[in-house]
Amino acid sequence: MMSDRILREDAGGLCTLTLNRPDKLNALDTEAFEALDAHLAALEGEGDRIGCVVLRGAGRGFCAGADLNALGKVKIDPRFKPGVIERLQGLPQPVIAAVHGVCLTGGLEMALAADFIVADGTARFADTHGKWGLIGAWGMMQRLPRRVGVGPAKRMMMTARQVGAEEALALGLVDMLAPAGELDGLVAGLAADILANSWHTNFAVKRMLRETDGMSLADALVHERDHYPGNAPDHQDRIARFSTPR
């Protein structure tokens, strides 16, 4: 039986995964990672019916990070949790992290694995590993500087200070920002635009960007040419609809 740590809801090609531990600000324990891993494993094979994934948090915030009270209590392979984050990043579908309230440390590492971080005015971001004498192991030191630049990433990682929604938007940490309480509409609009586009194209764009990350331009162009996926099966119908007078 699937754990209720992560809830899944599908509608019209959109899958919404909700971190569901609101009494703990959705703090992440091993059970949450196991549940998320199971959902991601299923989504990897559902590209024919799921074209976009939204990850969000129940209650007052997105995620407060790792459950500090649970650290070390369950012995697991140390590669498991970072592997789940990598699995999230590697989904064929575009992934939107919908952030309200706190998005701290492990929660930020999870959000950074999404293709888009969308937030409302209540969002607050921080890396508090240093506050507790911990070292990030779920990708913070690699993904955060690639997202916001080395300088801002150092400030976040070496001070543990919180970054508000407006500053996060200015840094490029957040892609789109809604007023407080209007996150659902912003996320719905972005997801609708993604789903209306060719899923074949979206999946190919995401895969190609991932495969050529870090390559020189010359090497990336060769890779793109050699792994060109071809047009979508319905591309002629799409062009015909565009060309037909209304």
Whether pLDDT at 1 is above 60? no
pTM for the full predicted model: 0.94
Q: How confident is the model at residue 245 (pLDDT cuts 50, 70, 90)?
A: low
Mean pLDDT of 68-88: 86
Q: What angle do CA 110, 114, 119 make, to 5 degrees?
A: 85
Average pLDDT, the chain: 94
Token reading at 58: 């129940």
Mean pLDDT of 52-80: 89
- CA 101 to CA 181: how far, in whole Å? 10
CATH class (in words) of the domain with range 6-196: alpha beta
